[in-house]
Structure 1
Amino acid sequence: MNQSKQRFFIGLVPPPNIQQQMTEIKEYFAEHYNSSGALKSPPHITLQPTFEWAAADVAKLEESLKSFAANRLAIPITMSGFAAFAPRVIYADVVKSPALLELQKDVMSYVGENLGIVNSVSQTRPFVPHMTVAFRDLTQENFQTAWLEFSGRELLFEFTAAALTLLLHDGSRWNISKQFPLRAEPPTILNQS
C-alpha cells in the first residue's frame, strides 16, 4: 500500500512584526526584480531542510519535536544586513551565534537518530543561518542589480526564537503546521531553608 507523504521542514520563525517587515522586503523583490519565489513561505531560518513524512504518522513527528523543544532553551537571534549566495539568492544575514549553531546541529542529529530524517547535502555543508528574501526565480541580471541595491542596505533585528516551527507544503506554498515552544529559562531550583 502506498502511503501518502507530506513535505515538511523545521525552522525558526520570527515574531509577527519582523515577519511583516521581511514579507514587505520579499514583496519589493517580487515587484522590482520579478522574484516572488520567496513569498511561498513565511520568513524563517531553516534548521532541518525539506524531508518527506508519512501523512498517517504526523502525530509521531509532532510528539517527538514537542519533547525535543521542551528540553531546549529559547535563543536570541540577531539579523544584521544582507548577504547572498550568488548568483541567485539574496537573504537577510543571521548572526552565527554559538546558541543557534548548537540548536541547528542538535535538531539535525535528533531527527536523524530518533526519526530517521537525514539530509545528506546539508550534512556536508556548513550551516549558514539566513532568511531568504529572493531566490531561484531571481535572474542573474536582476541579481546583479538587486545586489547593488541591497549589499550595503542596513537591517538590524533582534528577537528571541521561542519555538521550533514545523512547516508543511500544501502543493503550492509552505505554511506553518505547528509550533513547539522552547523553554523560556532554565528550571529554577528553590532553596528551602
Structure 2
Amino acid sequence: MNQSKQRFFIALVPPPEIQQQITEIKQYFAEHYNSRSALKSPPHITLQPPFEWPAAEVPKLEESLKKFSAHRLSIPVSLCGFAAFAPRVIYVDVVKSPELLEIQTDLISYIEANLGIVPPVNQNRPFVPHMTVGFRDLTKENFQAAWLEFSGCQLHFEFTAAALTLLQHDSSRWNISKQFPLNIEPPTNLTQS
C-alpha cells in the first residue's frame, strides 16, 4: 500500500483585494531585492506550520478542520506596517489580537489531540503573526537595503478572516487546497423585534 505523504500548513488568507496588494509587494521584493521565495505561496498568516500527512488520509484531516472551524467565530485582522526577523525575513506586521492568539493556540492543541500532529522542534517559539514579503533568500546586504526602505513605510489593512485555509505543497509552491468557513457571528438567543 502506498503511504505517500503530502505537505500542508494551515493559515488565514486575506480577501482577494488585499492578497493582490501584498502580492505586488512580494513582486517588488523579487524585482528589486532578488527575493522570490515569498511568491511561492499566497499571502497568509500561518497558524500551523508545515507538516506531513498521508495522502490517503486527507479526508480525515479535512473533516477534522471542518469540525474545528464550525465552532469558531470569524476573526478581525489588522495589518499594520512592516517588521522583520533579522537578518533574512521582512514581513507585513499583524496585530496580535486576543482572537488571533486564541484561535492559533486552540488550533495547535486541537490538531495535536485529534490528529497527532505535533509542532516541530521549534515549538517553544512564541507565535508571531505575520505575512512574509521578503523571505530567507534575501541576502544580508539586500535585507539591510530593503529594511531601510520598508521599515518606515505606512501600511494598514483591516479584514475579517472568515475561513481557515489548508494549503498544500505541489513540490514547487504552496496552493490553497480547501477552506473551512468560520461562523460569521456568535450564536445568539436574543431576537430583535
Q: TM-score normalised to the size of structure 1? A: 0.97
The residue aligned with 1:147 is 147
Provide the rounded CA distance (Å) in 2 between the counterparts of 1:5 and 1:98.
34
Task: Give the secondary-structure state (helix, strand or coil) at the position aligned to 1:57.
Answer: helix
The CA distance in 2 between the partners of 1:24 and 1:64, in whole Å, is 34
Percent identical: 77
Q: Which residue of 2 aligns with 1:65?
A: 65
CA–CA separation in structure 2 for the residues paired with 1:84 and 1:190: 45
SS at match of 1:185: coil
Aligned counterparts of 1:189 and 1:58: Cα–Cα separation in 2: 36
In 2, Cα distance between equivalents of 1:68 and 1:136: 32
| 1:19–1:42 CA contact under 8 A, matched in 2 | yes
Please list the CA deviations of residues 66-106 of structure 1 after superposition, one character each: whole Å capped at 9, or x if unmatched.
01000000010000000000000000000000110000000
Is the Cα–Cα contact under 8 Å of residues 13 and 43 in structure 1 kept in the other structure?
A: yes
Residue 49 of structure 1 is matched in structure 2 by 49
- Give the deviation of 1:53 after TM superposition: 0.4
CA distance in 1, matches of 2:27, 2:112: 35
Q: How does 1:177-188 map to 2 (within 5 A)?
A: 177-188=177-188
Partner residue in 2 for 1:173 = 173
Q: Does 1:77 align with 2:88?
A: no
Check 1:144–1:35 CA distance in 2 against 1; reply closer, same or farther (3 A cut).
same
Correspondence 1:135 to 2:105 = no
Cα displacement (A) at 1:189: 1.3
- Distance in 2 of aligned mates of 1:155 and 1:190: 38
Match of 1:36 in 2: 36
| Aligned-partner SS, 1:46 | strand
Runs of 4+ off more than 2 Å: 120-123
Distance 2:124 2:34 in 1: 32
> Please, which runs of 5 or more residues in structure 1 have no aligned partner?
none
What residue ranges of structure 2 are gaps of 5+ in the alignment?
none
Q: Which residue number in structure 2 is paired with residue 161 of structure 1?
A: 161
Report the Cα distance in structure 2 between the residues aligned to 1:189 and 1:122, rounded to whole angstroms: 43
Match of 2:115 in 1: 115
Report the equivalent of 1:7.
7
Query: Does the aligned pair in 2 maintain the 1:49–1:122 contact within 8 Å?
Result: no
CA distance in structure 2 between the partners assigned to 1:74 and 1:137 by the alignment: 33
CA RMSD, aligned part only? Answer: 0.9
Q: TM-score, normalised by structure 2?
A: 0.97
Note the C-alpha offset of 1:122. 4.4
Give the superposition deviation at 1:65.
Answer: 0.1
Helix, strand or coil at the partner of 2:104: helix
